[in-house]
Structure 1
Amino acid sequence: MGFEHSSWGAESAAINYRQDMDIIDDVLLRKQLATITSPDSQDSIDERVSEVRTIREEAGLPPSGGAPDRITFSTVVKASRGRSLDDDGEVVEVWMVHDRYGTEQGKGGDSNPLKNQLDCLIVKWQDGDWKLTDEPKYVKLKSSPSAYFPDSKFAFKDGWREVGSE
């Protein structure tokens, strides 16, 4: 994917993955995950696809398939907090606060978006890129971030930074 081998590269990769990861099309999500998931965490692909299938069924959609016609979804990461989970900076947890919107063609934006969702992805430098990992030895090292508020000195001290938009 081309993210640099640095702490900022790890955060950028995780943010990009969260924003681009399909949340309703299980077939597309599986393809995306096959590209960005570490070979050490292939079981997590099935788990994430199963989560999407559950969401689809809860929304009254068939368990597998694409997004309903004329509806698109987008995820916008507003802030992130990265921390290394090893001594070399090769494994990084990235906590993110994001909003998720649905838009129906011809009807405008989402009147009830999911706001301020908290999520964590762990990325590992492998084969020249940052890959998602859910290896238990790293998952057990995850931290608990302080709450994110844009103007909070405590959130800033904890490492939260606003994510710029284009």
Structure 2
Amino acid sequence: MSYWENLDLLDDVIARRQWTAIASKDSPEAIERGTSEVRKLREGAGLPPSGGTPDGITFTTSVNAVLQRSLDNSGEVVNVWMSYDRYATVRNKGGDDDPLKNETTNLVLKWEDGDWKVTEEQKYTERVRGPRAYHPDSRWAYMDGWRELADA
């Protein structure tokens, strides 16, 4: 799920551009929500609400497994659950001592103009139901539809 792995976490200008590119025409609120989340994260880290990523900080997000379900009869609107890890690296200080591990989130995607776009249309988001928790050794998670992603 490159959408989730490539989103900028601290630069609100880049995040707005990214959300504008991946949001469905019917969901401009996704752009505002995504940009607002970056600003909240910046403020939580003691940064001004708007600006670029501080020099020397990088983030890596790795989606480990996905579960996809169609939300309509055409298969052109899907809910994609993702289990992911996120690490921060600070130049000259090394890796993250407390990375986010085994986080779960979802995106509702709609096939639009030859690409999957994030949609927040209520007629689809109200159909979203939480999956069984993902664990790589859980037969129940596998039976629910979770699939591990191979490292590329």
> What is the TM-score when the length of structure 2 is the normalising length?
0.97
Task: Kindly indicate whether residue 38 of structure 2 is the aligned counterpart of residue 52 of structure 1.
Answer: yes
Report the AA paired with residue 120 of structure 2.
D
Counterpart CA distance in 2 for 1:86 and 1:142 is 11
Query: Which of 109, 131, 142 matches 2:117?
Result: 131
Counterpart CA distance in 2 for 1:42 and 1:30 is 11
Task: Kindly indicate whether residue 135 of structure 2 is the aligned counterpart of residue 149 of structure 1.
Answer: yes
Runs of 4+ in 1 over 2 A off after TM superposition: none
- SS of 2:94's partner is coil
2:101 match: 115
1:3 match: none
CA-CA distance at 1:138 after TM superposition: 0.5
Report the AA paired with residue 98 of structure 2.
N
Report the AA paired with residue 129 of structure 2.
S
Conserved 8 A contact 2:84-2:101? yes
Task: Kindly indicate whether residue 71 of structure 2 is the aligned counterpart of residue 104 of structure 1.
Answer: no
Structure 2: segments with no counterpart, 5+ residues: none
Counterpart CA distance in 1 for 2:74 and 2:126 is 18
Structure 1: segments with no counterpart, 5+ residues: 1-14
* Count of residue pairs the alignment pairs up: 152
Identity over aligned pairs, percent: 53
2:62 match: 76
- SS of 1:49's partner is helix
> What is the TM-score when the length of structure 1 is the normalising length?
0.89
Counterpart CA distance in 1 for 2:143 and 2:71 is 18
